[in-house]
Amino acid sequence: MRKQKDPKRLAEYESLLRAVDEMDVPEPSAEMGRKFQALLEEAKKARFQEDRATVRRPSPFFNLRFGLLPRLAAILSLVIVGWFLGYQVTPRPERARIDFLASEVREMKKTVMLAMLENSSAAERMKAVQGAQDLTGLDESVLDALTRTVNNDPNVGVRLMAVNALAHYAASPKVREALIRSIVRQKSPLVQLALADVMLALNEKRAVEPIRRIIASPLVDYSVKGKLEAAVRELL
């Protein structure tokens, strides 16, 4: 900076800076002004459109192009279409396989239930009768097993449960027949009364004769006798 203190040099600087200040600068062309006007008009137009878009813009939730609702609707539609197509596209052998597996499970449950009915524990046999009621579409072997239980099981509780289980399938003539035949075989007054109630519910007149035979028996309990006579009167 020593040079700046030199008066001659400082004067030289002054002179040069004055020359820079006074340097001829041409006039900008009219084109520059026109370009600016065009730029300004464009900016104003863009701002106007921006304002209009802001005013008209509906809630983003309902915005047709970017709203949340249309997006949710689109997603839901895709899920439904996807599920439908998936169901249609699933090969038939696959469905048959699923049906086969379901019947296998049912068979297994039936086998377990039949085995349990042979169990020495009354509680296990009760579980088996309960399991028989849960099986859908009872078949002959299960109905036969339940009938055998009603007629032969040593436990009154098991026999009562079996009567109730069979009563659910009383629409079947074979089951109804089996229940009627069981009446005379019962020694337990509780099972006799349960069967009489089932007969009343079914309005099964064929049960009158077997019930009369129980009433006629000298071993019948006095209170049971009165209820059975009432059942016969109702059935007639």
Partner 1 sequence: MIRVKQGDLDKLAVLYERYSRILFGFFFKVTLNSQASEDLVQTVFFKIIKYRERYRAEEGSFVTWMFRIAHNANIDHYHSLERSRNEVRIDETDVRSDEDTDDDFLKKERSRRIKEALGLLTGEQREVLILSRYQGLKYEEIAEILRCRVGTVKARVFRAMEKLRRVYRQLEER
Chain residues that interact with partner 1, rule: CB under 8 A: 1, 3-4, 9, 12-13, 16-17, 19-26, 28-29, 31-33, 35-36, 39-40, 43-44, 47
Of the pair 28, 93, the CB lying nearest partner 1 is at 28
CA distance 148 to 159: 9
Taking the complex as a whole, how short is the minimal distance between the CB of residue 34 and partner 1, in angstroms?
10
Residues 6+ apart with CB under 8 A from 122: 154, 155, 157, 158
Of the pair 16, 72, the CB lying nearest partner 1 is at 16
Residue 202 to residues 84, 89, 158, 162: CA-CA distances in angstroms? Answer: 45, 48, 22, 17
Of the pair 8, 233, the CB lying nearest partner 1 is at 8
Of the pair 30, 216, the CB lying nearest partner 1 is at 30
Neighbours of 141 (CB within 10 A): 12
Taking the complex as a whole, how short is the minimal distance between the CB of residue 45 and partner 1, in angstroms?
10
Taking the complex as a whole, how short is the minimal distance between the CB of residue 16 and partner 1, in angstroms?
6
Of the pair 16, 98, the CB lying nearest partner 1 is at 16
- Helices 140-152 and 173-185: crossing angle in degrees, nearest 10, is 10
**CA neighbor of 147 nearest in space, from 127, 132, 131, 134:** 132
Neighbours of 110 (CB within 10 A): 18
Taking the complex as a whole, how short is the minimal distance between the CB of residue 80 and partner 1, in angstroms?
46
Taking the complex as a whole, how short is the minimal distance between the CB of residue 82 and partner 1, in angstroms?
45
- Assess contact for 129 and 117: CB atoms under 8 A: yes
Taking the complex as a whole, how short is the minimal distance between the CB of residue 26 and partner 1, in angstroms?
5
- Assess contact for 201 and 207: CB atoms under 8 A: no
Of the pair 13, 62, the CB lying nearest partner 1 is at 13
CA 44 to chain centre: 59
CA distance 12 to 9: 5
